Amino acid sequence: MQHGGTSADAADIFGEVLTALYLQSKYKNLKLVTSFESVFVPLCRRRWVQKSGIRPAVQMEPSKQTPEEEMVTRIENETVQSEILFQTLKKMEDPCKEIIETVLSGGDQQLLAVKLRISADYLKQKKADCLIRLINTSGIRI
């Protein structure tokens, strides 16, 4: 393989990029206006550059990017931010962790309020507090 990678590295990157595109299409309503390949290949290439630490031969200024490249950049940034948030969430303690996981999974918040022995209104307030704590702890700017 080129640039010192293995087929396992390629499979990891392939899977990460497919997962990122799937999540973007499911939760962010990503709509491709070009061929899948014109988005997928640059994403794989950029992910490889990020993981391997090599510098690309040509650097494009953001203002000179094609629409496809701008979309790839946006998807990469959102994917990195999502990963940071999920890693931060793993480190959070209950009940915040449980509240956020229930909200993200679409779980029944009424049942969660009963389980936590709090009112539904207080759960809404606690959910907002927990989300703010998650964002502040992660260091991501929104």
| Mean predicted confidence (pLDDT) in 14-24 | 83
Q: What's the token pair of residue 55?
A: 């510098």
| 18-22, 38-42, 115-119: which is most confident | 115-119
Q: What pLDDT was estimated at residue 112?
A: 92
- CB proximity list for 8: less than 8 A, separation 6 or greater: none
Q: What pLDDT was estimated at residue 3?
A: 58
What residue ranges do the domains of the chain occupy? 1-83, 92-142
Q: What CA–CA distance (Å, rounded) separates 104 from 85?
A: 12
Q: What pLDDT was estimated at residue 138?
A: 85
Q: What pLDDT was estimated at residue 98?
A: 92
| Mean predicted confidence (pLDDT) in 71-81 | 79
Report residue 28: phi and psi, to 5°.
-115, 5
29-71: per-residue pLDDT in tens?
777 777 788 788 888 888 888 777 765 555 545 556 677 777 7
Cα dihedral 115, 111, 128, 118 sign: negative
Q: What pLDDT was estimated at residue 20?
A: 82
For 73: left if phi > 0, alpha if psi spans -120 to 50, otherwise beta; the answer is: alpha
Q: Is residue 25 over pLDDT 60? A: yes
**What average pLDDT does the structure give for the chain?**
81
